[in-house]
Amino acid sequence: MPLTAAEPENLHAAAAVLMDAESGRVLFEKNGTEKLPMASTTKIMTLLIALENADPDGIVTVSSRAASMPEVKLHIREGERYRLLDLLYSLILESHNDTAVAIAEHIGGSVEQFAFMMNQKARDLGCFDTYFITPNGLDAQDEHGIHSTTAKDLARIMRFCIRNEEFLAITRTASHTFSDLDGTRNFTVQNKNAFLNMMDGVLSGKTGFTGNAGYCYVCAMESGGKHLISVVLACGWPGNRTWKWQDTTKLMNYGLSDFEIKTFGDEIPVLAPVPVRNGRSSKISLSVTAAPKELLCRKEDTFSMDILIPDTLTAPVTAGEMMGTVVYYLNGSILDLFPITACEDIPAIDFRFIFQQVTEKWLPGTPPESH
């Protein structure tokens, strides 16, 4: 791999994103907010919902609707019973559409209710340009729109998914063998995500294809302390199966070679005491609540800092109260904010305080005799 890589050019994908998985910052995008169908990359959300809401040892009974799904499918049959975990491997390793529906009906009670759960989770993750209709990613449309996402949103979803160890374990499994609970049918599913073996450090990924979506791929990897997520959508149609691998390789190489880990927030400013108006003390000490943070940056990126506090504060002031802000900038744009807080209580001057001060000054004891 070269020591540096130019910003990805001539990508086949209609939309693409490279994201720093630690911070969520987008390092590169091409049409990152364009809404597009995402095919079976949908299934990372299906898996996430299942892992968060169901017992993996739960028993799934196959419905006629699930059994009727088109290829790619496991060919499960109506009335058959399976362990949920086994169907999750089928869902991810070979992207079976029938098991996706069986899983959705088992957890949500219906495909429609499961889609509601998917959409709610997307909103919770800040993905407001994503709309799920199906659990398998087949092309679909209803009165609210088409089954779709954006490259940015899909990267956000994957960023959350890879925090789940069960998610990582399933998506990285090479093969899985299981049977229905009656023991009459045996299956072995093989992981079809070829990119797992194309680059060192790949953590997870999911492919997808439909007639409307084209080839899609979402990938997560870790190398040299860098955690990256890439997304390509509408990356060619039949005859161009390898384009998604080419684009993903370009994106990941760019992230690995052209970015380095930099730290900010490690130099905590020492703040001078600030005058306090109408307070029982004339000055107050302030502190910055901050912790060092790491960020993937280009080598030429620069940090700067600004301290925003009033020239004078007015009592009363409570310890821990926010008095100002330390602003960190990356290349002149706001990157992060750290609060500046009061170190002590400063009550306001009142009549009782004034009376006490006068008494202590003028009546400390017996006044001297006059001559």
Catalytic machinery residues: 40, 43, 95
* Spatial separation of the C-alpha atoms in residues 288 and 258, rounded to whole Å: 32
283 is in an annotated binding site: no
Rama region for 335: left / alpha / beta (φ>0; ψ in -120 to 50; rest): alpha
**Is 55 within 8 Å of 21 (Cβ atoms)?**
no
Q: How far apart are CA 47 and CA 34, in angstroms?
A: 24
| Contact residues for 330 (Cβ-Cβ < 8 A; gap 6+) | 264, 295, 297, 301, 302, 303
Q: What is the 3-state secondary structure (H, E, C) of the chain?
A: CCCCCCCCCCCCCCEEEEEECCCCCEEEEECCCCCECCHHHHHHHHHHHHHHHCCCCCEEECCHHHHCCCCCCCCCCCCCEEEHHHHHHHHHHCCCHHHHHHHHHHHHCCHHHHHHHHHHHHHHCCCCCCECCCCCCCCCEECCEECEECHHHHHHHHHHHCCCHHHHHHHHCCEEEEECCCCCCEEEEECCCHHHHCCCCEEEEEEEEECCCEEEEEEEEEECCEEEEEEEECCCCCCCCCHHHHHHHHHHHHHHHHEEEEEECCCCCCCCCEEEECECCCEECEEECCCCEEEEEECCCCEEEEEECCCCEECCECCCCEEEEEEEEECCEEEEEEEEEECCCECECCHHHHHHHHHHHHCCCCCCCCC
Signed CA dihedral, 259, 262, 265, 269: sign only = negative
Pick out the residues of the known binding site for substrate: 206
- Bind-site residues: 206
